[in-house]
Chain A
Amino acid sequence: MNRIGTVAIWAVVTFCVIALIALPINLQTQLIASITIVALMAVIKILKGEGIWRLIALALGTAVVLRYVYWRSTSTLPPLSQLENFIPGFLLYLAEMYSVGMLALSLFVVSMPLAPRAERSGQLKTFPKVDVFVPSYNEDEALLANTLAAAKAMDYPADKLQVWLLDDGSTEQKRNSSKVLEAQAALARHDTLRQLCDDLGVHYLTRARNEHAKAGNLNNGLAHSDGELVAVFDADHAPARDFLRETVGYFDDDPRLFLVQTPHFFLNPDPLERNLRTFEKMPSENEMFYGIIQRGLDKWNAAFFCGSAAVLSRRALKDTAGFSGVSITEDCETAIALHSLGWNSVYVDKPLIAGLQPATFASFIGQRSRWAQGMIQILRFRFPLFKRGLSIPQRLCYMSSTLFWFFPFPRTMFLIAPLFYLFFDLQIFTASGGEFLGYTLAYMLVNMMMQNYLYGTFRWPWISELYEYVQSVHLLPAVVSVILNPRKPTFKVTAKDESVLVSRLSEISRPFFVIFGVLFVALLVSVYRFYAEPYKADVTLVVGGWNLLNLIIAGCALGVVSERGEKSASRRVRVSRRCDFVTDGRSFPATIENVSANGARVQVYGIDRQTIGLDMDAAIRFLPYGGDEPEELPVQVRNVEGHGDLTAIGCRFTPCVARHHSLVADLIFANSNQWSDFQLARRGNPGILFGTLWFLRVALYQTSRGLVYLARSMKPKAAAAETGAVREATR
């Protein structure tokens, strides 16, 4: 257990490895070494090596990456005498070194993530007083009703649990707005929400002015409450019943604990998942963050607050005078401040809340812009590397989290780099075809293998690149603006309750088609040059291949920005729960198949289909998780189908009293296990080869879909008539 000894040995071994890597060996040796290491990594991968094998595979990969870095730094930069080559060449070099640096940081963060913690809901002994804050700005009543009801229904002694709706949408400032429409809306909102809170037994709180956005709102909540612990849920994040039981206990274990963060689980797909139809089968984007990165951060005591689905200690928040609000990502900023004061955090890797994420591409970009800008503000104002009080691992972790958001720069560079050669004949990367094979290809392969090793079950091949690309197009200006003007960005609430009813192009899709067009022309140019200039065919082949890769990703992105229309406004959650279907005073045994915030689908046994008419009032009676007696939830029949004894009835909830919202919440949110199960069902590592093939197929299809949408948007009149037909065709 001699730490210094271990560090010393590690340093010596690292020095030896670096000394070996920094030898100016020749290309043949490099090629054989690359092949050897790739083969070893593949063997470890095939044998599904974990634990120590995982680190060995990563170390092997690191060796190849460092070889690439050495070679790239020493022999590929264009000469300084050719500035027209050197400047773009050096920018590309910087972009690559950024990527390598980020790889190094993420290796540090996730090379040995903490194993998921054991469930502890049954072991809770002390029950500190908890204030639950649900900050809201413009969310509608039904959404808030579900969230508040779910929060209220959490399994926790009622006298120790206070739920607060922190309404920033009807502050005095808004109610007294000089704009009459705004003022009236705020007044109406104020009244309805106050009524809703009364019905649900929840505290309603608003304030005078909308100062410091969400942070200010939460601080206002802190000022009006006195619980030992504070749980924060976004307006659309409804907690499961066991949320507090799974989290509160950690505060007993560690008196210096300020945060227990849990993952954000989303019931609806993000635009990429929706438009590419991957929601049901591929892990969500944020699962990589919550499934592994937060666990990695947790190992270094650097798991940070993500704005919602977390429990915080009031004592700790007092140290920082509440939530910090310099940046527009107050959550992470608060976490840095508390970590630097010596407070600890814990991450519980079990989805305990379910929420919504932006449905349209535009609001998705809006949300990401806020995150990117906020994180860069943190980098600017709270530079974590030199932040006093943080441990060295914490500094690295926060650097990793904030620097990540510079990805639009390298992504853009990788996108345009081949064009320098194809269009302007600039040599920004001096290497022969053989060197590309021995170094670059090996590096790319190893990089993919390492990514797959680190995140394989959470992120499929090329999906990271796709996400980065679709964000980069609009994030680049946002990031540039925050770098130039760090204090300018303001907190904008992301709309999450939108829906796309009609298939259409996203309103911010145009640049994607332009880029696709340019890359396509570049493809034609590369084909032409391959034949017309045989003396540099090998370079053209390499650069053209690189451009083709960009084109494939850009083509896939066309599908992402082509929003598919959806019939139902809100997402259905699959459940399986016994109930009784009550109509006209008679009850029939039934099973709830799926539920959404608005309705449910039940399989009813033995009912006479003739007796059921559309829009007929009925009720579903079931035993809520939090109650002893079965209760009835009023519904309206929307459609009926079936044969034999089973009848499937689609119905819409018609909640009249607050208790009905609680019942809806109970149906959807109460059982957190169903979310874990859903996540587990789509986790799976297709491997690099199959993942790549799958991605190619998707990209090809999405390209054509994007182009069809584009063609349709060009002739809007005809489109209106054909919408239905095309929608069928595109399915």
Chain B
Amino acid sequence: MRSILAATLIASCAFAASVAAQQVPFDMSGERAQQPGASPSPASPPPAVPQSGQPLAPQPGPQASPQPSSPQPPAAPAALPAPQPAAAAAGPRFYVVPSDRLNLAGEYATRDWTIYLTPEQAEAAAKLNFGYRNSIYVAPEASNLSVYVNDTLIGQVPVQSPGGVADRSFEIPYGLMRPGTNKIGFSATQRHRTDCTVQSTYELWSDVLPERTFLEFDAAKMTAAPTLDDIRAVGVDEKGQTRFNIVVPKLEQSATTTPLLRLSQALGMLATMPNQVFEFSTALPSKAASGELTVVVGTAAELEGILPRLPDGARSGGIAAFMENPATQAPVLVLTGPSWEAVESVVENILAPVNRPENSTRSALATQRWTGMNTPLLTGSSRLPFSALGLKSAEFSGRRFRTGFYVGIPSDFYGDAYGEARILLDAAYSRDVLPGSHIDVYVNGSIASTVPITRAGGDVLRHLPIRFTMRHFRPGANLIEIEAVLQTRADEVCVPGTTASNEPRFALFDTSEFRVGDFARIAQLPNLGAVAGTGFPYGRGGETVDLIVDRIDNQTLSATATLLSQLAVMAGRPVATVPKASAAATGDGNAIFVGPISQIPPVALAQAHLSEDTAKIWGTSAQSASPDANADMLDAWRQKTSSNAWQKPFMAVSDWLDRNFDISLGSLRFRPGDEAMFVPPDTANLVVAQGIGPSGGGAWLVLTAPTPEKLQAGAATLVRNANWELLSGSLTLLGVGDKPMETRPVTRVSFLPTQPFSIWNYRLIAANWLSTNILSYAVLLACLSVLLGLVTFSLLGRFGKRR
């Protein structure tokens, strides 16, 4: 057996055409000197790039000419995937669900996402296995679960597993999976067994279990050695997580921090998975698992003790190559060279294809691994048909239809207070649909608009405008959902079998449009929402970010790498960090502080409005009960006493005012009060906080936890997609439980212009600012009107007849 499973010429892989001269140091003069230099590995993740030039791929043209007759190695394992023992040939299971939960709720639900397959995997993909269970209320005869690969239905089963998990397996037609990006879709149509109410549709759900949902490969075809392409195909584990183990024998040297962090970001951006965790260690892992990639980094000398054999040429030049982990037989990526400089240049070469030039703007956010397609980024006035947003025309025969799409909003979006987006809806409803039905729009789960259906007898809606507030928009990808709640006479009567009817009641056409006008664009600080959405401001091109990590240990470095990689994925470009020894050394620029609370400089705590005492108290159980207990009690008593009949109409009016105008005394102030210093409660395991540097410039991001262990675990939890999306305000706590995230809103905002000066933009900024500071507008308008009155008085006094 060859000890070197794979070795790839990084330079040729990355940008052979442009920097061919650099081939020399990485030249892999061993077995594969003859391989042509031109081997374009996809720099960005377009799915259908043919991988014809892959040096080690056994199938050069996967779709064009499958080669079933190509000679197979003899050691072909059994056809069924062998689960636990990490059999060398079959490898671990290839889990596909990028989340720890895949829930299909309601009468109609779809989930799409993409996976990345190497040419070899695409060729070998044989079956998609999945396990599911469902609610007892789902009527099996009227409900089914469909699975799509690349928009092709590969199988459909009735939803009939309320008792326990049922496993199903669908053949994947040969050639359907393509090298590169492939789309997986689960779609459930579910009907209630007995109930015809809209309410009952909330009892319908199916759970597809990520730990039982995986691709099965034809092991006979899985013989080729891994290539760098395998980084993208890293996949997920049974909980939807992606893990990079970075093994650095000499971790303590501070000079290595920067290349290691850049490496993490490069790996993260290549994979672009939703839940990516980085873990640093000094020794090779003893177990291999799915969704995991081990990377060994160090000079050739450092690695000698760890690896039985180094890649050829490691002592003469920087090299990246796949080797075999002697303990697990799993492939590990080895980055080495004669010196750290050589290693660094290898890292830079891995990073280069995913880096984005300083002034190039993105038109889409890389979210396809968990949303099914990259999210178009709207930087101003735009109109997008639903078909371009991944939505398809659909007919629906139930009572609650819900579907959605993602749109991306830039980090400097400042239209939450006044902005309005529109959906021009092309839809139809049948004559069975009664007035009183309605179509709702949800933004990120919050209701944004309701349009009642008022006309009986059916109608075809052509570009019916639905205006909805942009209040719930946030930087990054935003989920916009359309829900049609349909009432019919038949549902009111609800004879048996009504729910199984296939008579369509509602249709949504993909010619509908999403429209948004120009919105105000100016960045606000602090704003963790922008950090989460697009890594702003740390991912801006051309700016370096000071990184203050007081003591470099495994946990802290892991947390740092996890955070930076997440920021890089969101920003679409690596964060250019500059290590700084102390807070005092940071200038006006942006800075990131990572460390256990005891190691965060006090000035950083102060700027992030974390109390000085935090370092002493947090995590020591010395804290008292929540100060809000009184308010809660008062609320509870109000609830108890408000049953007076006389109060009802007044309560209704007050509720209506509240619902329609959302005006509270808090919104009627001129300037915000000072932000109080905050001590995180003991339940919090992690705090992310942002503040403005003491010099007034620069955004300081603090990631801290009571202990290094909690820091590492917390960072891993934080970057899980479901949590990361909730990051907002000036400070977010990560605790435990169902809703682990808790946010403190920003009280004092400072603005950072991001756009070239334009009157139009400033007008919109003013509109949003005044819509936020309500009273200011009233006062300004009144004052200007008074001034106008005075000036008009003097004007009229000078013209016309006088006496």
Binding site for B on A (CB under 8 A): 1, 3, 6-7, 9-10, 13-14, 16-17, 19-21, 23-29, 31-33, 35-37, 40, 51-52, 55-60, 62-63, 75, 79, 81-82, 111-112, 114-115, 117, 298-301, 393, 425, 427, 430, 432-434, 437-438, 533-536
Contact = CB atoms under 8 A, between A and B. Distances in A.
Given A10-B795, A51-B793, 19 more contacts: A10-B792, A13-B787, A13-B791, A20-B781, A31-B661, A32-B668, A37-B778, A56-B790, A57-B789, A59-B786, A60-B782, A60-B786, A79-B424, A79-B465, A114-B801, A299-B796, A300-B800, A427-B454, A533-B435
Interface string B648-663: 0000000000001111
Interface string B754-779: 00000000011011001100110111
A409 B185 CA distance: 59
Interface of B: 417-418, 420, 424, 435-436, 438, 452, 454-455, 462-465, 467, 469, 660-663, 667-668, 763-764, 766-767, 770-771, 774-775, 777-782, 784-801, 803
Nearest to B419: A24
A434 B462 contact: no
Contacts of A21: 781
Contact of A10 (B464, B661, B771, B791): B791
Contacts of B763: 19, 23
Contact of A32 (B454, B777, B790, B794): B777
B791 A29 contact: no
B801 A32 contact: no
A301 B789 contact: no
A535 B440 CA distance: 13
B186 to A, nearest CB: 34
Contacts of B661: 27-28, 31, 434, 438
Contact of B667 (A24, A28, A59): A28
A256 B469 CA distance: 62
A454 to B, nearest CB: 14
Interface centre among B420, B435, B454, B763 (most CB of A within 10 A): B454
Contacts of B787: 13
26 contacts: A3-B798, A6-B795, A13-B788, A20-B781, A23-B763, A23-B777, A24-B420, A26-B771, A28-B667, A32-B777, A32-B778, A33-B774, A36-B781, A36-B782, A52-B793, A55-B792, A56-B789, A58-B792, A59-B786, A59-B788, A59-B789, A59-B792, A81-B462, A81-B464, A115-B803, A298-B801
A28 B663 contact: yes
A55 B462 CA distance: 47
Contacts of B454: 425, 427, 533, 535-536
A29 B455 CA distance: 33
Contacts of B793: 51-52, 55-56, 112
A710 B801 CA distance: 52
A348 to B, nearest CB: 13
Nearest to A393: B800
Given A28-B774, A60-B782, A533 B800 contact: no
Interface centre among A29, A35, A52, A114 (most CB of B within 10 A): A29
A300 to B, nearest CB: 5
Interface centre among B463, B788, B790, B796 (most CB of A within 10 A): B788
B462 A63 contact: no
Interface centre among B417, B766, B791 (most CB of A within 10 A): B791
A63 B662 contact: no
B790 A55 contact: yes
Contacts of B784: 13, 16-17, 20, 63
B454 to A, nearest CB: 6
A29 B774 contact: yes
Nearest to B786: A56
Contacts of A36: 778-779, 781-782
Interface centre among B424, B462, B787 (most CB of A within 10 A): B787
Contacts of A300: 800-801
B775 A32 contact: yes
Q: Is the interface of B mostly helix, strand, loop or mixed?
A: helix
A643 to B, nearest CB: 53
A75 B418 CA distance: 13
Interface centre among A17, A25, A37, A81 (most CB of B within 10 A): A25
Nearest to B779: A36
B781 A63 contact: yes
B462 A25 contact: no
Nearest to B452: A535
A536 B418 contact: no
Given A6-B794, A111-B792, A432 B660 contact: yes
A23 B785 contact: no
A579 B613 CA distance: 103
A25 B792 contact: no
Contacts of A535: 435-436, 438, 452, 454
Contact of A55 (B463, B770, B778, B789): B789
B781 A33 contact: yes
Contacts of B789: 52, 55-60
A28 B435 contact: no
B568 to A, nearest CB: 35
Interface centre among B467, B781, B782, B803 (most CB of A within 10 A): B781
A434 B465 CA distance: 18
B483 to A, nearest CB: 15
B771 A28 contact: yes
A81 B770 contact: no
Nearest to A59: B789
B431 to A, nearest CB: 15
Contacts of A301: 800-801
A724 B93 CA distance: 105
A295 B9 CA distance: 93
B770 A23 contact: yes
A23 B764 CA distance: 7
Nearest to B415: A24
A25 B795 contact: no
A567 B684 CA distance: 92
Nearest to A60: B785
A614 B791 CA distance: 69
A473 to B, nearest CB: 32
Given A37-B782, A114-B801, A55 B663 contact: no
A583 to B, nearest CB: 53
A26 B417 CA distance: 7
B798 A1 contact: yes
Contacts of B785: 17, 37, 56, 59-60, 62-63
Nearest to B437: A535
Contacts of A112: 793, 796-797, 800
Nearest to A118: B803
A387 B424 CA distance: 47
A433 B660 contact: yes
Interface centre among B662, B770, B786, B803 (most CB of A within 10 A): B786
Contact of B436 (A31, A32, A40, A533): A533
A112 B802 CA distance: 10
B660 A55 contact: no
A607 B766 CA distance: 85
Interface centre among B452, B771, B794 (most CB of A within 10 A): B771
